[in-house]
Structure 1
Amino acid sequence: MERWLGLARSLVIYHNPATVRAWRRFYGQILRPGDLVIDVGAHVGTRTRAMRRAGARVVALEPQALFARYLRLTLPRDIVLIEAAAGGAETVARMAVSSRHPTVSSLQAAFVDAAPAAPGFGHVRWDRTEEVRMVTLDGLIARHGVPAYVKIDVEGFEIEVLSGLSRPVPMLSVEYLPGFASLTTRVIARLEELGPYRFNPVVGERSGFLWPDWRDGAAAREWLAGLPADAASGDLFARLP
């Protein structure tokens, strides 16, 4: 019963027409019709639908069985849905699941252990685990082609997702959590290893860039370090010049 309540809660929060329209306008500014995109952590499909409506070809990954079932029933048929997580190897992994707050389910044990003490997570309980299939970004690229954009929203597992990517892609985004800024600084370092990326944040669901220009990794790290732990989360975008 709690799993269905968690799905309903996510639909109320994330899957509403106004949010999808706002993200469609945003993605319409940074993607071109026909661009291939990979959505790692599709959840209820808000961003997947927005990118598709902006004209992109979407490969969506969602490891949680209940959410993958919902997406299979509701997504347009031209979206490729893969019931899997992304990581450093093609394997099977165990995900910690919060039935009531499924958006924070995670494969990162350290994140789950530390989260109850972080602002905004005190009410969350990870009450069960779920065995999930894991694929790699390199494997997805081999099967589907090089994406113009990869969106990653995986609750602390970002660096593991990027460990399965051995080449730069034109643009990525990762969720940042101010209470776990060190996880995002590791992501910035990994992206700098892959290529000369420049960065720009999107705060919350505002679907617009915070900065008027794209800045280097040092500026992104400085900005993250200055955020209070209880500041709003969002997405840190990275793109090649």
Structure 2
Amino acid sequence: MDIATTLGLARSLVIYHNPLRLIPLRRFYAGLLPHGALAFDVGAHVGSRARVLRAAGARVVAVEPQAAFAAFLRRTLPRDITLIEAALGPREMTAEMAVSALHPTVSTLQADFAETAGTAPGFGHVRWDRRQQVQVTTLDRLIATHGRPDYIKIDVEGFELDVLSGLSQPVPLISVEYLPPLPDNTLRVIDRLAQLGPYRFNPVAGESGRFLWPDWRDGATTADWLRSLPPTTRSGDLYARLT
């Protein structure tokens, strides 16, 4: 592992692997999911969500394609978390990932994400300076192997729609990262979820572990909210619950 990759891993650990900041998320998931629920963590990164979900009582399948992070997860994840060293997409294939060595959390398989995000607020300092060939499988294949999950968390930097294109059945609960400077990615996800089933939505800002709304709202209302966000608003997760 070279110096830039080591620094990127260390940076991610400092930001995302702080046990104190994970306490609210553990409480959040414990109240949201039934004990023993099956959860897929797609884009596991340093495994913070996978560990939180496990601590909340879930059975976890963690999916991570970046070589440095998959190696870290192999060494450090609890043995009852299943690790899949691959990406997810619309079909099984090999694909090229654009990697930011110093900011690996924004590495992506989306072909134009680096170009589009590079001009958006908050991304000006990021450089996608590496390429990695990764194996891609699908959510349908994961479900065939591990069972239908109660929850899928997807954080894949603009590749969310492609991941959901590999899913042919509704799942009770799904979350995707939303990026206020790039709302079109999430708007397309809302449309895709509407094709899968009757979903309603509620956002969580950052890693707060609290829903922003007291109720779950339809796709049109959620889309209007996304369009209204100033580009400098911090990112978060948009939860979709099957009704």
TM-score (norm 1): 0.99
In 1: Cα distance, 2:74 partner to 2:121 partner = 34
Residue 52 of structure 2 corresponds to residue 88 of structure 1 = no
The list of structure 1 runs, each at least 4 consecutive aligned residues, that deviate by more than 2 angstroms after superposition, is none
Deviations 1:180-224 (A, max 9, x none): 101100000000010000000000111110000000001100100
Q: What's 2:44 paired with?
A: 42
1:190 to 183, 189, 192: 192
| Equivalence map 1:140-159=2 (5 Å) | 140-159=142-161
Q: How many residues align?
A: 241
Comparing 193-202 and 110-119, the one that deviates more: 110-119
Residue aligned with 1:109, SS: coil
Q: What's 2:212 paired with?
A: 210
In 2: Cα distance, 1:19 partner to 1:57 partner = 21
RMSD: 0.6
In 1: Cα distance, 2:116 partner to 2:220 partner = 26
Residue aligned with 2:140, SS: helix
Structure 1 spans left out of the alignment, 5+ residues: none
Residue 205 of structure 2 corresponds to residue 200 of structure 1 = no
Letter aligned with residue 141 of structure 2? G
| Equivalence map 1:212-227=2 (5 Å) | 212-227=214-229
Identity of paired residues, percent? 65
In 2: Cα distance, 1:181 partner to 1:103 partner = 18
Q: What's 2:23 paired with?
A: 21
Letter aligned with residue 33 of structure 2? L
Letter aligned with residue 207 of structure 2? E
Question: Could you tell me how far 1:90 is from its partner in structure 2?
Answer: 1.0
In 1: Cα distance, 2:206 partner to 2:68 partner = 25
Q: What's 2:176 paired with?
A: 174
Residue aligned with 2:142, SS: helix
Q: What's 1:236 paired with?
A: 238
In 2: Cα distance, 1:205 partner to 1:33 partner = 21
Question: Could you tell me how far 1:20 is from its partner in structure 2?
Answer: 2.1
Q: What's 2:70 paired with?
A: 68
In 2: Cα distance, 1:207 partner to 1:110 partner = 30
Is the contact between residue 174 and residue 235 of structure 1 (CA under 8 Å) also seen in structure 2? yes
In 2: Cα distance, 1:111 partner to 1:180 partner = 10
Letter aligned with residue 196 of structure 2? L
Residue aligned with 1:121, SS: coil
In 2: Cα distance, 1:128 partner to 1:75 partner = 26
TM-score (norm 2): 0.98
Q: What's 1:97 paired with?
A: 99
Letter aligned with residue 21 of structure 1? I
Deviations 1:150-173 (A, max 9, x none): 000000000000000001000000
Is the contact between residue 20 and residue 49 of structure 1 (CA under 8 Å) also seen in structure 2? no
Q: What's 1:164 paired with?
A: 166
Question: Could you tell me how far 1:19 is from its partner in structure 2?
Answer: 2.1
In 2: Cα distance, 1:178 partner to 1:236 partner = 11
Deviations 1:5-31 (A, max 9, x none): 000000000101112222111100111
Residue 115 of structure 2 corresponds to residue 119 of structure 1 = no
Question: Could you tell me how far 1:92 is from its partner in structure 2?
Answer: 1.0
Is the contact between residue 94 and residue 131 of structure 1 (CA under 8 Å) also seen in structure 2? yes
Residue 137 of structure 2 corresponds to residue 135 of structure 1 = yes
Structure 2 spans left out of the alignment, 5+ residues: none
Deviations 1:28-55 (A, max 9, x none): 0111111101000000011100000001
